[in-house]
Amino acid sequence: MVPIKVSFAGRGHSEGRGVGFYLAELSQALTKLPEIKLTDTKPDILHFPFFDLFYATLHPHPTVPTVVTIHDLTPLVMSGRYPKGLLGSLNLFRQWWSLRKVSAIITDSENSKKDIEKYFRIASEKIFVIPLAVDDIYRKTPTATKLAEVKVKYHLPAKFILTVAGGPNPNKNLPSLAEVTDRLNLPLVIVGKGLLQEIVKPVHPELIDLVRLQVYNHIIYPGFVPNEDLAAIYHLASLFVQPSFYEGFGLPLLEAMTAGCLIVSSKTSSLPEIYPEDTITFLPTKLKSMEKAITKALKLSPRAITKQIEKAKTRAKDFTWSKTAKLTLAVYQKVLGR
């Protein structure tokens, strides 16, 4: 059996971002498959692990079969909060045109697949849904020493609500969660490097939520947190809340489920594809709905909490990088007719 030679394009573009994590984990999982050889020399498949809507990241005239991963189309779905301007519109057209030349599109959820069909008018049979997974460290139980160390390191209170967002992106709905937790007099911890960025005037429309968060005094911003520490924070939290208006997948939700943190979630976009049935959910556009869900979760009996957590951990086992790699291999084989 001759392995398929795969080259990942534009690795530097994705460093330090969510797609960088995707590329690192997927590459590692693919190297364990005998049917795959990762190389930069004469590849059979060129795989773009990211798709930028407003920058020309695809080759308009590919010389080998090309696969591209589109994680989500948030700026198009929420276009009112993501102004693209004239140059952005031009690049969006270029990307759309180049996208029609690729052999296959991979996306993280059925919800994102529908968006790609809707906004780019791409045939359904060309789009393959392959869910993501999380780092194995979230499956391990931190020691008491580690928990105590992390609690002191990040100045965490005895009880707190947790959410994780790379930045104050409009789809994350962070001001609503801040408002609700303030009403309930609950400390809120928002993990993410982007929450620590300096506010420069005039404020870019995508950063308006960062300004809105400044009025609250009950929020703790740990900034970037490495996986080992974040796994401990999931164990320390009273509740993890996924408040998003829209997500292409929702990795923090899956991390919390895997780690064994009690969860409540918005019931929009791709999120219902991740959490199990009977999860406590809410409408992200309704503050009362969010408040009711958080209050209900915090009033659960110890037995009910354990039941919720075990269901979530069982569901989380369905998502593995090994499975992601095997499904990706199947796409390569289909593209090459093998």
- What's CA 5's distance to the chain center, in Å? 28
Range of the domain at 124: 4-129
Contacts of residue 70, Cβ cutoff 8 Å, sequence gap at least 6: 51, 105, 106, 107, 112, 116
Measure the CA–CA gap between 243 and 265, rounded to whole angstroms: 6
Number of independent structural domains in the chain? 2
Tell how strand 66-70 and strand 188-191 pair up. unpaired
- Domain finish residue from 92, 113, 129: 129
DSSP 202-223: SPPGGGHHHHHHTT-SSEEEEE
Q: Are residues 185 and 278 in the same domain?
A: yes
Are both 141 and 214 inside the same structural domain? yes
Could you tell me if residue 333 is inside a domain?
A: no
CATH number where 275 lies: 3.40.50.2000
Same domain, 18 and 59: yes
CA distance 54 to 51: 9
Q: Indicate the pTM of the whole model.
A: 0.94
329: in domain: no
Instruction: Please check whether residues 104 and 153 belong to one and the same domain.
Output: no
In a domain, 322, yes or no: no
Structural domain contains residue 174: yes
- 321 falls within a domain: no
Residues sharing a CB contact under 8 Å with residue 239, sequence separation 6 or more, in sequence order: 161, 162, 261, 262, 263, 264, 294, 297, 298
Q: Where are the alpha helices (DSSP H) in 100-143?
A: 110-120
Same domain (yes/no): 153, 178: yes
Each residue's pLDDT expressed in tens, for the chain with a length of 338 residues: 799 999 998 765 555 456 678 999 999 999 999 999 999 999 999 999 989 898 888 887 888 999 999 999 999 999 988 888 888 889 899 999 999 999 999 999 999 999 999 999 999 999 999 999 999 999 999 999 999 999 999 999 999 999 999 899 999 999 999 999 999 999 999 999 999 988 878 877 788 999 999 999 999 999 999 999 999 999 999 999 999 999 999 999 999 999 999 999 999 999 999 999 999 999 999 999 999 999 999 999 999 999 999 999 999 999 999 999 999 999 999 999 98
